[in-house]
Amino acid sequence: MRKIEVFKKHLREQRAVKIISGIDNYNLSSVKKVAIAAQSGFASALDVAASEEVIKVAQENAKIPIFASSTNPFSLLNAVKCGADAIEIGNFEHLYKKGKGLSASEVYEITLETMSLTSKYGVFTCVTIPGSLPIEQQIALAKQLEILGIDLIQTEGAAVTPKNAHGSMGLIDVAKSTMANTMELSSQVNVPIMSASGLTPKTVPMAFAVGASAVGVGSCVNKLDTQIAMIATVRSIVASISTRNTLMQEVRYGVGAGVL
């Protein structure tokens, strides 16, 4: 069985967890730590920059599916040739840091070119919809991507949302635009939605509750200082989903909470 098939199974079961190293993270030592954390933390997939050296380090340290991210179609083609299990057009946070962004038409054109280059490989393809776009444009783009046959759509939100609040309220405030985009898109298309941007172990269950089939988690893991902390955080994310699934089953079958 191809590794990506396991990820697809997790998608169908609405419990897929992708750990994001960073589209602009070419620090091989950092990539190795994130890869080990994703593998040891029982994540469903690892997302890295579309670089031959980076992909190699990821493959050496994680047996889970490797996503390669870029906004360059030829970089994504090269990533497929290097053995990436999936490709992703996005993430766009590195562009926002430079004061740049992509329009819906630009994302569509990049997707179209990427698919034309990689079609013969049958590679699993994900596209990030810019959170900077008005929701009407996000929905329209999602519908266009569905027609193209995209396998997965990733949301944004927190990447373009000011982060001012602190504590529990701050966590929710940062994630709320991500949740809103996830809710809107999941109700408009049949393509699975991966909720990403600003999620933490405490807010991940909320993403699934509003329609996500997967979550993408980056900074709350890749910004940590130690390997142990990274692994512990990934495991807490996976555990939060397991707890949610158990509770849902109990409710469905009338178990617990005094339900007969």
Q: Where are the beta strands (DSSP E) in 28-78?
A: 45-49, 66-70
Q: What is the mean pLDDT of residues 142-163?
A: 83
> pLDDT digits over 164-188, tens only?
555 565 567 667 888 899 999 999 9
Distance CA 145, CA 37 (A): 32
In the block, tokens 């992703």 appear at 88
Q: What is the mean pLDDT of residues 62-82?
A: 97
Q: Does the pLDDT at position 248 exceed 80?
A: no
Which pLDDT belongs to residue 127? 98
> pLDDT digits over 19-55, tens only?
999 999 999 999 999 999 999 999 999 999 999 999 9
Which tokens hold the place of 17? 């967890």
Which pLDDT belongs to residue 161? 52
Quick one: CA dihedral 144, 97, 157, 62, positive or negative?
positive
In the chain, the domains with their CATH numbers are 3-252 (3.20.20.390)
> pLDDT digits over 192-228, tens only?
999 998 888 888 999 999 999 999 999 899 999 999 9
Query: Quick check: helix, strand or coil at residue 179?
Result: helix
> pLDDT digits over 90-143, tens only?
878 777 777 788 999 999 999 999 999 999 999 999 999 998 899 999 999 999
pTM of the complete model: 0.88
Using pLDDT thresholds of 50, 70 and 90, give the confidence band for residue 156.
confident
